[in-house]
Structure 1
């Protein structure tokens, strides 16, 4: 049993039977697509949520091939996200599109499940400038392309951002920061092999670049190369011991190989360092406590996470899990 992060509105709990079985019929637009697992394969029977232009919401399970379809939708902008009830550590950022992009009244919106990889800018710790960075002689055109790529990535224009990173690297092949950002972008597309290649290339240029070490560790988590992930995340932590996100990922890596005590230590410390940015650690700690049949404490960890992220994508599923553990805790002699 794995746990994960996300957010869900209360109105999603009151859903019609017809919506659960496949959407709403009648005239209008059809919003459809496919949900993908972190390994790039289609997700089977995960929950798909659609926020419509009028603010109302719909829910359906996708089929065995990861396909979903909402019919009879009004024109406007749509937001789609997914929750995997069998692997709650997976989540999706809302994927957006609108009816102006429709072809024959059909709007395609694919959704990609993944694990948390970044903390918010507000919680980000300043990076120490290394000798490798000081000694760089980056051409102005390459630096401009890199900065434009970062800007476009923040604006969710990933294709244009990728082109800018490609340009920056072509003009200055030793640009390990651009290689790392391209790797981060590729991770959001579930292109973990390509992302890992970028991180490895960056580390050949600067073996102590924390963001590349952490990115490579994350890719290895997704590829279930847990020992390698632990080694790289430990290296990242030694170089930047105040990074709560690194410790959270390291805790998750140890949890994945059932190293419960190291996992507990990493997760607890990540919350001390970054209570908001590493809040998902509460969910992973809950899994450890549940394994130990400490159901009351496990439920409290879930509640602590939801207090920080009450609108998280999997909030409803986590509330249900916490209630179940609370009941088990009361029943335990």
Structure 2
């Protein structure tokens, strides 16, 4: 089976994915302006990490201000998923989907959901100690924040410079290694990006984000077996991550485990919706490989309904013509 990667060509990750970020086209002036709200409807008055991602991986992350506001600028028009990571002992991870249009802001409010006390102390989804490292010097944090702001505005070279400076100040800075890897991946420096993700995992083997990002690189490099193993571990930490499940399905597809890939891809789309339309395209490929023409055609048609201008749209139309 020929495994197509056009939908993965520019997957990038920053802080995650979510994991799931994941070279992006030159910005067309789109932006996202958002607010994070507490369960009672008031504005969040503490910092929370906001992760921006698409079905190709994670694009960037920023932090809310003291009023719960966040913003992403210079975005390519597309459907994005926003992941909000606030105090994990108190709140569930929140997700929302937003469409960005050219030369216009997209406004979104995201409500946090209170976590049950028992859930905050159970299961393998432990908070990464590397991500909460209290020993990070203030000067390193400042460089990291500047890098995050630059990445959010599409200034990749500036972001890389700030992340490198943060690491010089504090070599154990897990998030700086991870986000530096994300920007290097955006520049197609796959081996350099992979080294940064591996270093982040060495700092904290329980960190979810660099595992997902490393797996994205491995899938791009067609190292499917290692990618599947990396994602299996990542999913033990965050089993409901649609980005991790998507790339797990792609790794299994590349390994010719079509039954496992089918289950994972269906699950990724069910959890993530339209931002994970890529799963539908690859399900179409799997059904074609099995000789199941009708479900293959239906998957390609569904992909086009959700992503008419997606990276695999031309190929999907071609396959529909073949399958008529």
Q: CA deviation at 1:2?
A: 2.6
Matched, 1:94 2:94: no
Equivalenced residue count is: 227
**Cα gap change, 1:186 to 1:281, in 2 (>3 Å):** same
Q: CA deviation at 1:162?
A: 0.5
Matched, 1:186 2:184: yes
Q: Which moved more, 1:130-139 or 1:244-253?
A: 130-139
Alignment partners' CA distance in 2, 1:238 and 1:322: 37
CA contact (8 A) 1:5 1:312 kept: no
**Cα gap change, 1:301 to 1:121, in 2 (>3 Å):** closer
Q: Any idea what the Cα deviations from partners look like across 1:8-46, whole Å, max 9, x if unmatched? A: xxxxxxxxxxxxxxxxxxxxxxxxxxxxx78xxxxxxxx
| 2:58 alignment partner in structure 1 | 118
**Cα gap change, 1:92 to 1:143, in 2 (>3 Å):** closer
Structure having the higher Rg: 1
Q: Any idea what the Cα deviations from partners look like across 1:220-255, whole Å, max 9, x if unmatched? A: 222222111111011111111111011110100010
**Cα gap change, 1:241 to 1:151, in 2 (>3 Å):** same
Alignment partners' CA distance in 1, 2:294 and 2:23: 28
Gaps of 5+ in 1: 7-36, 39-90, 98-114, 328-333
**Cα gap change, 1:273 to 1:177, in 2 (>3 Å):** same
Alignment partners' CA distance in 1, 2:130 and 2:57: 25
Alignment partners' CA distance in 2, 1:157 and 1:131: 29
Q: CA deviation at 1:135?
A: 3.9
Alignment RMSD, CA only? 2.4
CA contact (8 A) 1:123 1:274 kept: no
Structure 1: 4+ residue segments shifted above 4 A:
none
**Cα gap change, 1:96 to 1:133, in 2 (>3 Å):** closer
Q: Any idea what the Cα deviations from partners look like across 1:123-165, whole Å, max 9, x if unmatched? A: 4253744333334321122111111111111211111110000
Give the 5 Å matches for 1:157-306: 157-306=155-304
TM-score, normalisation: structure 2: 0.65
CA contact (8 A) 1:4 1:280 kept: no
CA contact (8 A) 1:247 1:267 kept: yes
Alignment partners' CA distance in 1, 2:256 and 2:153: 38
Matched, 1:133 2:92: no
Q: Any idea what the Cα deviations from partners look like across 1:269-297, whole Å, max 9, x if unmatched? A: 11111112322100111111001111121
**Cα gap change, 1:4 to 1:193, in 2 (>3 Å):** closer
1:149 to 136, 147, 150: 147
Q: Which moved more, 1:276-285 or 1:307-316?
A: 307-316
Secondary structure in structure 2 of the residue aligned to 1:118: strand
Alignment partners' CA distance in 1, 2:196 and 2:288: 38
Q: Any idea what the Cα deviations from partners look like across 1:21-80, whole Å, max 9, x if unmatched? A: xxxxxxxxxxxxxxxx78xxxxxxxxxxxxxxxxxxxxxxxxxxxxxxxxxxxxxxxxxx
Give the 5 Å matches for 1:5-20: none
Alignment partners' CA distance in 2, 1:277 and 1:123: 10
